[in-house]
Amino acid sequence: MMKLNEFIKIGRALFDEKIIHSTSGNISVRDGDSFYITAHGAYAANLSSDNIVRVNVNDKNRDDGASVEVDVHRAIYRSTSFGALIHAHPLFATVLSFDNDVIKPIDAEGSFYIKEVPVISAENAIGSEEVVMKLPPLISKYPVCVIKRHGSWAGAANLAECYNLTSVLESACKILYYKKISG
């Protein structure tokens, strides 16, 4: 069953930390043969039950109103045991994705939680069949991945763990970025 308070708390935290902006990104939680996902255009800093949609894991019968990334969430749930997913648009991780095929944290905290982050290229980075095919096999091995020029995906047992991975990724990417420009 959906935990609305968890959606609200994590959505707000992602926004407050500037990992997402206005209606960017999406959050989902698996519930057996279905999952709850933020609605298309939902403002993550102010989520309510009105902008969370229950959809099926195995078909598109209830997709009306769901995030445009619903097929990517579905594909990941079909091929992993993750209980939750966060797709975000962290600025520094996205900037680093332009010129890297892998992001490797160099700070102690970042490398403690994340050894390396694959960067996936896709012609159409938003909810495309290409991302549906490429992301699930990688995210099953690397719980946080980045789609080049687009944003991050984190999968874990629950939203709190997904949020931690996403937050650590962005912090590690800030350090990498500032280290690079400082010489």
- In the chain, alpha helices (H): 4-16, 70-79, 91-97, 108-113, 129-139, 159-182
For the cut 80, the answer to whether the pLDDT of residue 2 exceeds it is: no
Q: For 35-85, how does the pLDDT look when each residue is reduced to its tens digit (9 = 90+)?
A: 999 999 898 888 888 999 999 998 878 788 899 999 999 999 999 999 999
Split at pLDDT 50, 70, 90, the class of 4 is confident
Fold annotation for 4-182: L-fuculose-1-phosphate Aldolase (3.40.225)
Q: Which residue has the higher pLDDT, 4 or 93?
A: 93
Quote the pTM value.
0.95
What are the tokens at 43?
């403002």
Question: How far apart (Å, rounded) are the C-alpha atoms in residues 86 and 73?
Answer: 9
Structure tokens at 179: 């280290």
**Domain boundaries, given as residue ranges, for the chain:** 4-182
- pLDDT at position 176, please? 97
Could you tell me the CA-to-CA distances from 166 to 17, 64, 130, 177 in Å, in that order?
Answer: 10, 27, 22, 16
